[in-house]
Chains A and B, each alone.
Chain A
Amino acid sequence: MAFFSKLTKDRFCRFRRIKRAWYSFLILSALFILSLFSELICNDKPYVLSYQGRLYFPIFQFYPEKEFGGKYLTEADYVSLRHSSDFKDGENWMILPPIPHNPLHSYIDLSGTPPHPPSAKHLLGTDSSARDVFARLLYGFRICMLFSLILTAISTLFGILIGGVQGYFGGVVDMIMQRLIEIWSSLPFLYVVILVGTIYSRSFMILILVLSLFQWIGLSYYMRGEFLKIRSLNYVKVAKTMGMSSGHILFRQILPNGLTPVITLLPFQIIGGIGALTALDFLGFGLQPPTPSWGELLSQGLNHLFAPWLAISTVICLFTTLLLATFIGEGVREAFDPRSSTD
């Protein structure tokens, strides 16, 4: 099959041989997959709960307060339930996830003023609204990565499409599109984000939409170059002389060969996405509070420098993630370097 040619397998093997990149890839992927199950790792709802002889699974199902002797039909508050005398008296038990905290729950009844320093109960302390920092970091990681991956996917698609069209047709089409892209890229994307965010709500999807309007530009330059280069290669000329259609030439001849910059740029696009979201959140123009986010934690850290655990833990997380992604990016670039092929 064309996409998994021997050449691709060779490059993959070369990538694996670069230990630093391969392990970074494994670690980052593992952490990301882990974070997808955040609810199972870090939650104030128990996995399983036995109350008055019946088994409940609060993480997976919604139970109203009334089930456990409350008054209302809103979701039960398992934290207070745990401490309630009613629960403790009977033969009731609950099994909690390893980190029994919710990123959105404010532990206002803790002694002292938030942010609270790290303790046995809160490994990394709490933030300025008394929410557990570890939980916020974990959920924030997930949001960060998901945002970045989706953003990268959309902008890659646009980049390939637009750059490809430019490179394939060349001439006037390319020139006009290039001028349009230049005008578009001169728009200050931060203002656009702020504007759009103010007019419409600052939701996950809206942010992705707005950012993806700008993110594809970089890739399109590369794709344009690749397509222009490949277009003049002999096998494309031969396909033309054999009367193959433009569609065939574009999709089956040129495209499979033009995807190299996509793969080499991918890790750096992901880094860019993480950075963009974090920066927006830091400035307060990103995701709506109380969504857990690293940028927001950073800004809290800045405002509460006397509570260093906020800033330090976030910075370390950010640094590690970006470092791992950079190693992966370097490894990919080296593996795909045509000059270092030893055959």
Chain B
Amino acid sequence: MEESKEPTIIEVRDLQTWFPVKTGLWGRTNHYIKAVDKVSLRVNSREIVALVGESGCGKSTLGSSLAGLLPIRGGQLSYRGMPALKNNRFQRSVFQNKVQVIFQDPYSCLNPKHTVYEILSFPLLYHKICAREEVTDYVAQLLEQVGMSPDYMNRYPHSFSGGQRQRISIARAIGMKPELMICDEIVSSLDVSIQAQMVELLLELREKLDLSLLFIAHDLSLVRTLSDRLYVMYLGKIVESGKTGEVLSAPLHPYTRALVQSVPTLDRNRPPVILEGEVPSFSNMPQGCSFQNRCSYRSDACLKVPGLSSLGEREVRCFHPVGRMNGS
């Protein structure tokens, strides 16, 4: 596997975001919820990287941590090689607004008291992205780029549908001329046909604006059509990663395999395979590999926490992966 020649936009090494659980009379910290536990990932220029997992796995926490909204406990975060954490404090200025975030719920992402024009222009004027005289034209341009008519500028958010609001959020983000957009489940609450439109839009923007995306989602089928590379998370850890097509067609980790097999396909001859059990809560994780309670390949070795074994671009965190990693 040749190393990617594209420069790395954002790199995360062993990132930890832990939430303290305070109990007892004096509120002493009893233990931590390790929502993000030593996660390493990388997004290169013009790449669409997906981060998948089920609810509670920590992917949204990771997204919010990278946006600087949650306190980071440890690890390294760098933007184009420049460290963005100083004493675990998030240094937003390092990113220079080149990393933008879009959230899931379109109904709470836009201030209901602001017009579309105000929503889009505030950050532009604040950060002096463009001059005051040019703002209206620039806003019109942004709206067109996301497939909306500039006439919508003077309307308020409540007159738009979910899909349109997400487009406005995207327009707001691309107005800052970012290099990376973190999309936290942005299409999950939209209709299927609108999801397809949004995917087309994102691919178009990647081409036109040289954008890279960190796409956080739980829908594997969507991720397959959209992303180049994929990270799978389970209980705060990355359990597998690699090129999307390879991971989804030949998953190595038992969990990834179970996920892929659970998705109902259109092929009636292949019914979904049930993965029994439930995700353990963060407060009573099993000793060792966090997936062992539900794993059919479990052995005694799994009582220790498995490390990440990698070959080229593929990584897997398992003592006995279900396939063989292809060397090349």
Contact = CB atoms under 8 A, between A and B. Distances in A.
Report if A and B touch in the complex (beta carbons < 8 A).
yes
A2 B176 contact: no
A256 interface: yes
Interface stretch (B108-116, B213-221, B272-280, B283-291): B108-116
A240 interface: yes
A239 B159 CA distance: 21
B111 A253 contact: yes
A7 B157 CA distance: 10
Nearest to B106: A234
Contacts of A233: 108
B156 interface: yes
Given A237-B69, A241-B68, A242-B176, A7 B122 contact: no
Nearest to B101: A241
B111 A244 contact: no
Interface in B83-136: 92-93, 97, 100-103, 105, 108-115, 118, 122-123, 126-127
B96 to A, nearest CB: 9
A243 B111 CA distance: 16
A35 B82 CA distance: 70
29 contacts: A2-B113, A2-B115, A5-B156, A6-B156, A6-B158, A7-B113, A7-B156, A234-B103, A234-B105, A235-B109, A238-B101, A238-B103, A238-B169, A238-B172, A239-B123, A240-B69, A241-B68, A241-B69, A241-B100, A242-B127, A243-B97, A243-B127, A248-B122, A248-B126, A256-B111, A256-B113, A256-B114, A257-B113, A343-B158
B193 to A, nearest CB: 24
Contact of A244 (B67, B118, B123): B123
Interface string B310-326: 00000000000000000
A252 interface: yes
A242 B95 CA distance: 10
A229 to B, nearest CB: 11
Interface in A1-50: 2-3, 5-7
Interface in B148-163: 156, 158-159
Interface string B45-74: 000000000000000000000011100000
Contacts of B122: 244, 248, 252
Interface size on A, as a range, is 20 to 34
Contacts of B159: 6
Contact of B112 (A7, A237, A245, A248): A7
A265 to B, nearest CB: 19
Contacts of B126: 243-245, 248
A240 B110 CA distance: 13
A5 B123 contact: no
B97 A242 contact: yes
Contacts, number: 69
Contacts of A238: 101-103, 109, 169, 172
A242 B110 contact: no
A101 to B, nearest CB: 50
Interface of B: 67-69, 92-93, 97, 100-103, 105, 108-115, 118, 122-123, 126-127, 156, 158-159, 169, 172, 176
Nearest first, the 3 A-B pairs at minimum CB distance are A256-B113, A234-B108, A234-B109
Interface of A: 2-3, 5-7, 233-235, 237-245, 248, 252-253, 256-257, 343
A7 B158 CA distance: 9
Given A2-B114, A243-B97, 14 more contacts: A6-B158, A7-B112, A234-B105, A238-B101, A239-B123, A241-B68, A241-B100, A242-B176, A244-B123, A248-B122, A252-B114, A256-B111, A256-B113, A343-B158
Contacts of B169: 238
Contacts of B158: 6-7, 343
A252 B114 CA distance: 9
Contacts of A2: 113-115, 118
A243 B98 CA distance: 11
B112 A241 contact: no
Contacts of A7: 112-113, 156, 158
Contacts of B92: 243
A175 to B, nearest CB: 12
Nearest to A343: B158
Contacts of A245: 126
Contacts of B123: 239, 242-244
A251 B113 CA distance: 12
Contacts of A5: 112-113, 156
